[in-house]
Structure 1
Amino acid sequence: MQIAQTHIAVTGGGSGLGEAVVRALAGRGVQVTVIDRNAEAAHRVAASVGGHGLALDVTDEAAGAALDGAIAAKGPLRGLVNCAGIGGASRIVGREGPMPLADFARTIQVNLIGTFNMMRLAAARMQTNAPDADGARGAIVNTASVAAFDGQIGQAAYAASKGGIVSLALPAARELARFGIRVNTVAPGIFLTPLLAELPAEVQAGIAASIPFPNRLGAASEFADVVLLCLTNSYLNAEVIRLDGGVRLPPR
């Protein structure tokens, strides 16, 4: 799919991996809608790339109206990249008793249901696009995690939420194929996000030592490169791509 001069929305685009995707897309001539729950971050990043900032909670069932506003501003929506999500760690049964059910539910709500919500709303709008020469009307890229496969102790909620995103790839791609919409998923490993960058250098080095090759944390730009591949390679569909330097997470 040709993405230059098209309109693509990025959730979680106000920081971290999402911001890297926004900047990579803008560098390819894309009109980007930057979606983030943090209004200041959304508008700051959007302004820096000539995009459209949208303060939005991805779990909002009525978010379609906000997407329509972005479409009015930037044109038909041809792509969606879901990067919004939360982390957190909690044991199923810890020193203070069982994990609060609300904590588990919130992680599922934001990471899994939020991804599905934006996917369904975007796809409903993409299906009305005029098809290109391949019959394509759009492309969706979701963000999972290697925790979906190698979930560690304390990651039950996070791993379950990301595992759900992995499981969405095939049925969503099969269903949306009739509209000419592809769905792919990237499962990043350990990346140098703003949160990790705050850790002491020796801690970062210890984490990097667990990665087979290259022996370092992933760069956000490398994540963005794979997202661009998923958007532009028209034969790439229903895939889950691990991007992790060959790491396999230990139990703890």
Structure 2
Amino acid sequence: MKLEGTSVLVTGGGSGLGAATAGWLAERGARVAVLDRSAEAAQRVADEVGGIACVADVTDETAVTAALDAATEAHGVPRAVVMCAGIGGASRVVGRDGPMPLDAFTKTVQVNLIGSFNVLRLAAHRMSEADPMEDGERGVVIATASVAAYDGQIGQAAYAASKGGIVSMTLPIAREFARFGIRVMTLCPGIFETPLLGELPAESQEALGRGIPYPTRLGRPEEYAQLVESVLVNRYLNGEVIRIDGALRLSPKWPN
């Protein structure tokens, strides 16, 4: 896929990995629609990258459809959709106060897994009806999971389940979409400098960085964005899950 002039939609684009991806792709000529549930954040990033802002909760079919309508009207059918929207949170299944509230588990899965699937299905339908590009390609969908899908820590049952679901659906959907010329990929970032990580104390962040083999530091959002670019431009990447984590394998618990 050639990025110059290509219509791209980035969910969770108002901050963190999404904002970095929106900026990185815009610098390479893509026409970017920034989707975020925060209107202020979406507009701020859209102004920075010369794109448009779309406000939506990724679990809301009507709102996501409206965002795709806006992106299509402004830039044409999105040929690349990068899904960075998600939530974190940690809770033991059985803690001091009893069992984990079921709605806490449900919310995490609803946003991270079902929200990703919602965006994917709606965007892919539009791609499937668009004219084919070079090599018969019609589009690319990139989901964001996490190394927690493989190395989930204590307290990450809901988060790991939601990200593991994204990993598991990648290959079957890629196989299904092959007839349309739509590629499906998932990236699994390790520990990156994002607002989610910012919820941790500084000491914990530093300890996490020291635990990464090489480079011995937290990941930078632009490094995630660079990998997104590589996936988009290399048409032979399809149906795969790529870890980007500096060879990190999470320990059972966060360092104190």
Which TM-score applies when normalising by structure 1? 0.97
Distance (Å, rounded) in 2 between the aligned partners of 1:204 and 1:164? 27
User: Within 5 Å, which residues of 2 pair with 1:16-165?
Assistant: 16-62=16-62, 63-165=64-166
Aligned length: 252
SS in 1 for 2:133: coil
SS in 1 for 2:247: coil
CA contact under 8 A between 1:52 and 1:74: conserved in structure 2? no
CA contact under 8 A between 2:83 and 2:144: conserved in structure 1? yes
Name the structure 1 match of 2:237: 236
Instruction: Tell me how far 1:194 sits from its aligned partner.
Output: 3.3
Which TM-score applies when normalising by structure 2? 0.96
251 and 184 in structure 1: CA distance in 2 versus 1, 3 angstrom threshold? same
93 and 202 in structure 1: CA distance in 2 versus 1, 3 angstrom threshold? closer
SS in 1 for 2:44: helix
CA contact under 8 A between 2:54 and 2:70: conserved in structure 1? no
Structure 1 segments of 4+ aligned residues over 2 angstroms from their partners: 194-205
Instruction: Tell me how far 1:199 sits from its aligned partner.
Output: 5.3
Name the structure 2 match of 1:7: 7
Name the structure 2 match of 1:171: 172
CA contact under 8 A between 1:145 and 1:186: conserved in structure 2? yes
Name the structure 2 match of 1:203: 204
CA contact under 8 A between 2:88 and 2:196: conserved in structure 1? no
Distance (Å, rounded) in 2 between the aligned partners of 1:187 and 1:198? 20
After superposing the two structures, state which structure 1 stretch, 194-203 or 179-188, moved more. Answer: 194-203
Distance (Å, rounded) in 1 between the aligned partners of 2:171 and 2:235? 16
Name the structure 2 match of 1:186: 187
Q: Any stretches of 5+ residues in structure 2 without a counterpart?
A: none
Instruction: Tell me how far 1:230 sits from its aligned partner.
Output: 1.2
SS in 1 for 2:239: coil
User: Within 5 Å, which residues of 2 pair with 1:216-235?
Assistant: 216-235=217-236
Distance (Å, rounded) in 2 between the aligned partners of 1:204 and 1:145? 17
Identity of aligned residues (%): 62
178 and 105 in structure 1: CA distance in 2 versus 1, 3 angstrom threshold? same
Report the residue type matching 1:114 in the other structure. Answer: G
Distance (Å, rounded) in 1 between the aligned partners of 2:199 and 2:109? 26
Q: Any stretches of 5+ residues in structure 1 without a counterpart?
A: none
Distance (Å, rounded) in 2 between the aligned partners of 1:24 and 1:49? 9
